Structure 1
Amino acid sequence: MTNIHRGEIAAEIGGEERVLCLTLGALAELEGRLGAGDLAGLGERFAGGRVSARDLTAILGAGLRGGGSAITDDQLAQMSVEGGLRGAAEIAVRLLQATFGERE
């Protein structure tokens, strides 16, 4: 079960419902992997609306590891995502909103 107050979301990836969460460790991983330098750099990178498949893999992979899955980005890249590319992008947006967005 997910806890949105901790920034967790659920998504179907690889035929299973999985928990994703951008923990501090996952965010640090993203900063390094995407060469963003800091959280503001990550925000700037994603604010432009241009996201590569590599970015999606990095976001989802970090989120899965932050949610407790022992999965590599290479393994993730071989998995199906419900809704295909659009579905992967929607999962990434939900994850970023859960991490950085306003709480209701």
Structure 2
Amino acid sequence: MANPHAGEVELILDGKRHVAKLTLGALAELEGRLGDGSLLALVERFEQGRFSSRDTLHLVVAGLRGGGWRGDVEDLLSVEIAGGPIEAARVAGRLLARAFARPEQ
């Protein structure tokens, strides 16, 4: 079970529960995948509701990898995400919020 106080979010892939978390390593990997885009720009896109499916995909992969999953973007393309793309976007938003929330929030 995911621990929100530790920045964790739960996601179900092909019927199996996974814990996602944006660790420092996962954030660094995500930043590399974003290319010219910064994490701040990504956060702003989510806050303004201007994020893309690519943003969602890369965030979910980074979070899953931070949670110990050994897959990559290509692996996520062929799995069934419980709740579909909408749930994936919610998970991505929660990952960002939990990664950058102050401890008292």
Into which bin does the TM-score normalised by the smaller protein fall? Answer: 0.7 to 0.9
Contact 2:12 2:18 survives alignment (8 Å): yes
Contact 1:31 1:42 survives alignment (8 Å): no
Distance (Å, rounded) in 2 between the aligned partners of 1:48 and 1:36: 19
Distance (Å, rounded) in 2 between the aligned partners of 1:22 and 1:86: 19
Q: TM-score scaled by structure 2?
A: 0.84
Which amino acid in 2 is paired with 1:44? Answer: E
Distance (Å, rounded) in 1 between the aligned partners of 2:52 and 2:7: 23
Q: TM-score scaled by structure 1?
A: 0.84
| Structure 2 equivalent of residue 51 of structure 1 | 51
Structure 1 residues 14-23 or 42-51, which shifts more? 42-51
Contact 1:36 1:42 survives alignment (8 Å): no
| Structure 2 equivalent of residue 16 of structure 1 | 16
Number of corresponding residues: 104
| Structure 2 equivalent of residue 32 of structure 1 | 32
Moved over 6 A (4+): none
Q: Would you say 1:92 and 2:92 are equivalent positions?
A: yes
- What is the percent sequence identity of the aligned residues? 47
Describe the superposition over 1:35-78 as per-residue Cα deviations: whole angstroms up to 9, x where unpaired. Answer: 25543233234333222221111000010000001011111111
Contact 1:26 1:65 survives alignment (8 Å): yes
Distance (Å, rounded) in 1 between the aligned partners of 2:62 and 2:86: 19
Which amino acid in 2 is paired with 1:73? Answer: V
Distance (Å, rounded) in 2 between the aligned partners of 1:46 and 1:6: 21
SS in 2 for 1:12: strand
